[in-house]
Chains A and B, each alone.
Chain A
Amino acid sequence: MSQLTLQTLELYARHRRASLDWLVRSIEHGAGGSCAHFSIALGWSHPYPETTGYVIPTLLANQAELPELGLREHALACGRWLLSIQNSDGSWNGGLHPCKGAAKPSVFNTGQILKGMLALHRADAGPEFLNAASRGAEWLVSRAAADGLWGGGDYRASQTPSYYTHVLWPMLDTWLETGERSVRDSVERGVATVLARIRPNGVIAHWGFTDEPRAFTHTIAYALRGLLECSRILGAWDDVGARTVPALEKLLRRAELDGGRLAGEFDDDWRPKARYECLTGSAQTAINLLLWEHNEPDLRIVNAAAKLVDRVCATQHLTHPLAGVRGAVAGSWPIWGRYMTLRYPNWAAKYHVDALARLSARIEREAESACASS
């Protein structure tokens, strides 16, 4: 029997294409990297090394399906730009490029850039990318404290936030390629430290940007994703990945009860602390739900992910006259919400593309299995 075609999947493809078009525009305006964000008042920002790093795997993942966008070439250009601004000790600096003040190496940004380096290495773009990733990972290990995290914090908190699992994951991914044991050992210590921060209600202490007991869904999703990915690489679902399930159950329920609208912030008792949605957090949460579902298959989890993705799609303009808005995903919805107020960040577009791709692939698998069994 012929393959099923779903109108919703075609709609998802249009949204994905629009966001990829927008990411390409962000690179064309980025003087090497991808602009951090677009704002109607101020236009395109400077390029952002951190998110340029993790936009690269998204570009490469969509190259085969949309060859006309030249995504591989853009990914390569971003990668070369990141190589050109890597510090001699293997780190990358924080903030946008060029830095406003004194340049300061950043743990988190270095971690995110590793993802781009590894993706280019795996796409056979050249040995220099693995070399850069390896040096970056070594720098991260050299800066890590005995607990595998980075004491003293790196952004606005007094201690290393738990979303730095999003650094542990690319470090571990680098270990997969280099086999450097010290990297894996350091990551395992960090993972154990974060796991010890998980409370009975699933909340991971210190998963926000600040010391306040509230967090954007963006950093909540970062923290959970890092653990889910480390669990995948370590083959440790029961010991690591499954520990995220209580939090994911809460997020699933919240998303379902409100038709895909997820409050932009939660406190440590899962009380919503915002009336706006943090759209990138919603897209990231959809990805996390699908990662969970990969380990514990259940279409009810896919359903919640689909509602989150649908909600982000509903906020996206596909035909807006402003190129910086067309295909973009706002930081907050409504756009004047507290997260990335009045701006369209490149990471929101990136996670939207990733969520759409994962969800579409999951639905296609389900449709194919139905075809095969009929």
Chain B
Amino acid sequence: MRIVLTAGFDRARHAVAIAELARRAGHTVAAVIVVRALRVRRVKQFVRQRGAGGLVDAARRFVGGAPRETADSEVEALLVQESIAERSLSAWCRRHGVPLRAVADLNAPNTVEFLRALRVDGVVYGGGGILRRPFLEAADGRVLNAHSGPLPDVRGMNACEWALLLGAPPAITIHVIDEGIDTGGVLEVVPIAVEPGDTLARLRGKCVVAGVRGLVRALGVLAGPLPRRAPAAASRRQCFTLAPVLRELLEQRLEARGGA
């Protein structure tokens, strides 16, 4: 398959893993579109949603610093396991001669035109913000995403955490992106095992790694018709970032279950 990959920032390690594993699986990455991270609006929105702590974590990832115990640790382990040397999309693109386009907004008209002109089989979403109709139309509705929770039950942000809180079995879902929030057709739901010693960060990491592998595995479906949105997909209440008190509660629950 000939694909385009999106990412929220250049040092998105999971996106590097998707690009490389897709290449190794015989697919062609026609271009990588990266959203420029340092935009005032984006930073403000980020702080409002995730607080200053979230910004510190993001800044650490942005500069490529050694990940503390976050989901990045698991992704780093995947890169090592798969002998992937690059830690940024720009480095990966340089090595493989793939065009890298840095954009202000995935939904901006020039980004949409760029995508349309590539005439690819599909897009793999590796981050970059909510996709609007023009982008989805330019991709002919063929955009795949790995969601860190079981769909349609747990849609929205912090899905791995919410699955645990809501008593749903932790899982990731490979699905098609449509105009709703995590409402597109489902391709595969992959269970995530909760093991002794697991922390929230580790579980999130497991979800990201399972998502990377799931997306690469799913690329073949871009050759045929894709599943459509289930009728009740949007009826479940959307999840948002966890409030500190619920995050703390969940961490302690995990600990009580024999976790870290």
Q: Mark A266-308, 1 if CB is under 8 A from B, else 0.
A: 0000000000000000000000000000000011111110110
How far, in whole Å, are A8 and B237 apart by their CA atoms in the complex?
25
| B232 interface hit (Cβ, 8 Å) | no
Q: Is the CB of B256 within 8 A of A374?
A: yes
Q: Is the CB of A363 within 8 A of B240?
A: no
Q: A306-B246, A367-B249 are in contact. List 18 more A-B contacts (CB 8 A).
A: A1-B256, A4-B253, A8-B248, A253-B238, A257-B49, A259-B48, A298-B237, A299-B166, A303-B246, A306-B243, A306-B244, A306-B245, A307-B243, A310-B245, A367-B252, A370-B253, A371-B256, A374-B257
Question: Are A4 and B243 also in contact (CB < 8 A) when A259-B48, A371-B256 are?
Answer: no
A8 CB contact (under 8 Å) in B166, B240, B244:
B244
| B51 interface hit (Cβ, 8 Å) | yes
Report A229-265 residues with CB < 8 Å from chain B CB.
253, 256-261
Question: Are A4 and B256 also in contact (CB < 8 A) when A300-B237, A300-B239 are?
Answer: yes
| A6 interface hit (Cβ, 8 Å) | yes
| A7 interface hit (Cβ, 8 Å) | yes
A276 CB to nearest chain B CB (Å): 16
Q: Mark B189-223, 1 if CB is under 8 A from A, else 0.
A: 00000000000000000000000000000000000
How far, in whole Å, are A371 and B90 apart by their CA atoms in the complex?
48
| A83 interface hit (Cβ, 8 Å) | no
| B98 interface hit (Cβ, 8 Å) | no
How far, in whole Å, are A371 and B244 apart by their CA atoms in the complex?
19
A9 CB to nearest chain B CB (Å): 7
Q: Is the CB of A303 within 8 A of B249?
A: no
What residues of B have a CB within 8 angstroms of the CB of A303 in the complex?
Answer: 240, 242-243, 246
B257 and chain A: residue at smallest CB distance: A374
| B162 interface hit (Cβ, 8 Å) | yes
Query: Dominant SS at the B interface?
Result: helix
| A128 interface hit (Cβ, 8 Å) | no
| A366 interface hit (Cβ, 8 Å) | yes
A296 and chain B: residue at smallest CB distance: B237
Q: Mark B158-171, 1 if CB is under 8 A from A, else 0.
A: 00001001100000
What residues of B have a CB within 8 angstroms of the CB of A260 in the complex?
Answer: 243
Q: Is the CB of B245 within 8 A of A259?
A: no
Q: Is the CB of A261 within 8 A of B48?
A: yes
Write the residues of chain A forming the contact surface with B, with a CB cutoff of 8 angstroms: 1, 4, 6-9, 12, 253, 256-261, 298-304, 306-307, 310, 359, 363, 366-367, 370-371, 374
How far, in whole Å, are A256 and B239 apart by their CA atoms in the complex?
9
B48 CB contact (under 8 Å) in A8, A12, A258:
A258
What residues of A have a CB within 8 angstroms of the CB of B166 in the complex?
Answer: 299-300
A6 CB contact (under 8 Å) in B239, B242, B245, B256:
B245
How far, in whole Å, are A186 and B139 apart by their CA atoms in the complex?
60
Question: Are A363 and B239 also in contact (CB < 8 A) when A1-B256, A259-B51 are?
Answer: no
Question: Are A310 and B256 also in contact (CB < 8 A) when A259-B51, A299-B165, A299-B166 are?
Answer: no
How far, in whole Å, are A298 and B50 apart by their CA atoms in the complex?
21
Per CB-CB distance, the 3 closest pairs between chain A and chain B, nearest first, are A306-B243, A256-B240, A8-B245
Q: Which of A6, A9, A258, A299 has the most CB of B within 10 A?
A: A299
What residues of B have a CB within 8 angstroms of the CB of A370 in the complex?
Answer: 249, 253, 256
What residues of B have a CB within 8 angstroms of the CB of A371 in the complex?
Answer: 256
What residues of B have a CB within 8 angstroms of the CB of A301 in the complex?
Answer: 237
Q: Which of B48, B49, B248 has the most CB of A within 10 A?
A: B248
How far, in whole Å, are A239 and B244 apart by their CA atoms in the complex?
35
B48 and chain A: residue at smallest CB distance: A259
What residues of B have a CB within 8 angstroms of the CB of A298 in the complex?
Answer: 237
What residues of A have a CB within 8 angstroms of the CB of B246 in the complex?
Answer: 299, 302-303, 306, 363
What residues of A have a CB within 8 angstroms of the CB of B257 in the complex?
Answer: 374
- A-B contact list, 22 entries, CB within 8 Å: A4-B249, A6-B245, A6-B249, A6-B252, A8-B248, A9-B245, A12-B245, A256-B240, A257-B240, A259-B50, A298-B237, A299-B165, A299-B246, A300-B240, A303-B240, A304-B240, A306-B245, A310-B245, A366-B249, A367-B252, A370-B253, A374-B257
A260 and chain B: residue at smallest CB distance: B243
Q: Is the CB of A4 within 8 A of B252?
A: yes
B249 CB to nearest chain A CB (Å): 6
Q: Is the CB of B244 within 8 A of A310?
A: yes
B248 CB contact (under 8 Å) in A1, A7, A258:
A7
How far, in whole Å, are A232 and B48 apart by their CA atoms in the complex?
35
